[in-house]
Amino acid sequence: MINGLFAALILVPPVIWVAALGFVTLLGQVFGCEINEVSAPGCIVLGLELAGTAYNAGILATWGPLILFPFAIAALLSFAVVALFRALLRKARSTPQLPPAAEPHHTKPTAL
């Protein structure tokens, strides 16, 4: 469960960035939309006006690594700390416990 959560936190930000980059490239190369840092004027694809969506995807494609990758790196470092803690805890639990030392019986010396 924990490993899956950390895998998602590590892998999802780069996947989002690559998807935005691919979408912007598709709009620009295939459909001829002009997308820049200021605006995306008149991007019509299959009868839909995608200027706002293209602009937002362009911003994410441009600034995505700066915004998303620190989260992925933080998740990776958190995963390393949690994995180390779990390994140490597992090792501590598997170490055999010695029985408590038997207390010596104190007997009174007997007279001979």
Rounded Cα distance between 36 and 48, Å, is 19
- Look up tokens 């140490």; give the residue: 88
pLDDT digit string, tens, across residues 42-99: 888 999 999 999 999 999 999 989 988 888 898 889 989 998 999 999 888 886 666 6
Instruction: State yes or no: pLDDT of 106 exceeds 70.
Output: no
> Which helix (H) or strand (E) element contains residue 73?
helix 51-94
Residue 89 one-letter amino acid: L
**Highest mean predicted confidence (pLDDT) among 21-25, 39-43, 105-109:** 21-25
Rounded Cα distance between 92 and 28, Å, is 57
pLDDT digit string, tens, across residues 24-37: 999 999 999 988 88
What is the mean predicted confidence (pLDDT) over 17-25?
94
- The model carries a pTM of 0.67
